[in-house]
Structure 1
Amino acid sequence: MSRVSLDTFPFSPSQLSVLHNSGFNFAEDLERISPSDLAEELECTIEKAHDILKIYKAFSGKESKQDSSEISQQFKEVQLSHKFQSTSAWELLQHHASMPTIPTLCEELDTALGKGIPFGTITEFCGSPGTGKTQIAMQLCLAVQLPAFHCGESPEAVYIDTEGSFMPDRVEAMAKSLVSSIPECPSIEVLLSRIFVFRTHTHTTLIATIKSMTQFLQSHPNVRLVVVDSISACLRHAFTNDGQQRMRIIHDIGSSLQNIARQNNVAVVCTNQVTTKPFPSSSTASSSSSSSSPSPPSPSPLPFGTSQSGEARLVPALGDSWTQSVTHRIALKMCLDPSTQLPIRIATVLKSPVSVFSLSIPFVITEQGLRSASTMELSSIQTLSPTPHSPRSPPKTSQRISSPIGDE
């Protein structure tokens, strides 16, 4: 049986450093040690030792009976003290209508999301490389600061960069466009100074950054947006030999981001990569069917589409463990306008409680940032890094389509 490294647990960097320096490298090293003994070994206070063991027990699923009884007692106290109150659907509707949102600056996409990127939930943009995920993420850090959308007083943004994709020069170019076109927009220096960038390289530092985000938000109450670009970069190839551990970590990250969104009423936006998921082809299914009884219907095609072989589909990475944490999911793909041969991108709403499934919106990435394709003359668009793809007619208005995210 493989030994589980403590690096896979959501300890803070300082906790991991203390543990490793004292010879604690694997989960089994903490299995039977008491808080007082651990405090002596680590040369720290018993409170810090207790915090370390609490994280270990919660993450490894080894809470003691005493811990379980304490939770039960707390639940009973809540039942006795809490006054359960309900809210009418009309009141919730009025509250939702009055809540501000972060604009994507693409009117059709904002409408599909019910006004824009909402606060208190996780919104995901997924797609193949070059479809505009990072461009959207960087632009949202600027859009949240626009005074016209009332996202808060001097609103700020957090950008957790796991791939090294955050480009300050590109953000500056987007900011120049906003400053020149919006009279009340803050200066370029102010816009960029309100974006806090965290660079993470491994799943351990990503987990530690997310775990410490609540404390950071307490000291920076004006933060209204937290971006993770991308959520899957550090996790896709981690724990390949331990699927259960990988699922627990992904679920824990999703729960932590949900708590950050709800408890601080901030918008959490994550970009996600796509992966290939094999499906039986129609020829394989027909050849394997030897009985005369009718075969069960094949699964309906996903909006991601199928590969040319028809035996695989592009799906968002990280699986169902992560999907359950996402409230809004938008898939991005790229194609070419047949008349201008310029790239045009399609945003397809795959999951949203306020939108129609598979509602698709054409958009473009210009020097100024994300813009609606229907309100711009395609022949005059200066696009960023055109990528060769086979010609494909883009939809001129929002519509339902089922086509691949990319042509890879």
Structure 2
Amino acid sequence: MFRFFILTFISFISLNANILQDAINKAQPGSIIKLESGIYQGNITINKALTIIGKSDNVIIDGLNKDTVIQITSSNVILKNLTIINSGNRMDKIDAGIKISNSSNSVISNCTIKNTLYGIELAMVTNSIIENNKISSKDVDISLKGDALKLYYSNNNKIRNNEIYNSRDTTFAYSHKNLFSQNHIERSRFALHIKKSHTNTIENNHIIANSVGLIFAGAKKTTVQNNIITNSNGKAGIAVLVKGVSDFRFKDNTLKYNNKAFYIDAKHNETEIKRFFTNNDISYNNEAFHFHGAIKQNLIKNNTINGNIEDVVKSVRGNTTSKNIVENNYWDKYAGFDTDRNNIGDTSYKMYQYADRLWHYNNRVKFFYATPIISIINFILNLAPFIEPVLLLEDKKPLLYVGS
């Protein structure tokens, strides 16, 4: 009887022991731990420089639906080729697949993170790399999901070539000089939300079928280039939302099939150019440029604006100014001539807001946009407006052909 009790007790201890945490605790700093195929218990903490590598594609670390699966509190930690699943559900604790804090020079690569509340959180992390990972959230309503990636006071990191699906947001808060490159983000709420974060580069990403593609709030010295942002639909349906930015460089991007390509909220007291939109393809959207408040201090140059229902929309009365540089864009609605054959229109392209544009201030009127009566009103008012129209933008050198 006594022998049976001892054997049972030993078996009970081995079933509840965290083998992976024991290996981490016993390892010397700088060690490499290679894991064979199998399921390992999560809720582990790495507090020393270590490398943990899965030797096959079947190395799973399971958080058992509680807490954070892997917590990293040391610099120089490398995780590769792991499948990380089943975090807890506590928003207040930010339960995540991987949580890294007060760290530098760490690498998370070739990992699959799924059925976790948050994917990867970086808090006060510098000079680290997040690359070649696949991240998706728990199968719950989007408002109950966490962020796929969350950067908080984290600088000089590289986030590249990751695949993010069915998550809530990817966020940068007070995080500077990061590179966000070659990522694919699909079916999320905000593909990337950058707030109070400066000197970040966003390039070569593919962002598709999210409620909002990119949001920039209070960001300075941001470069956004060579991205493809498509099919932003739903209640927001915005490819790029810009508010309170300065030295914002948006170039060589493609924005197609969105409800709104740009939603721009400018401050009424701006005194210099804040936003630079150059060499972008802005085509087949419901609205190309949607301004909320003032239309001012924008440089819009060498863009292709083609096949949009509305080129320029202003949703709030007043605060319209002419302090913009708009030239050398191709507008498919321009109906001018080019007598000297230099591919620049002889007259400028002026975009007006006529009295009939009721849907600019009342979205419910948009239901009638394509009806014959509205089309007739548009035609008549363009010929002979009964109220002086409001000039929204003027391209003084419109192009007649694309790419010239």
Query: Shorter-chain TM-score category?
Result: under 0.3
Which has the bigger relative contact order, CA under 8 A and spacing at least 6?
1
Normalised by the size of structure 1, how large is the TM-score?
A: 0.26
Structure showing greater Rg: 2
Normalised by the size of structure 2, how large is the TM-score?
A: 0.26
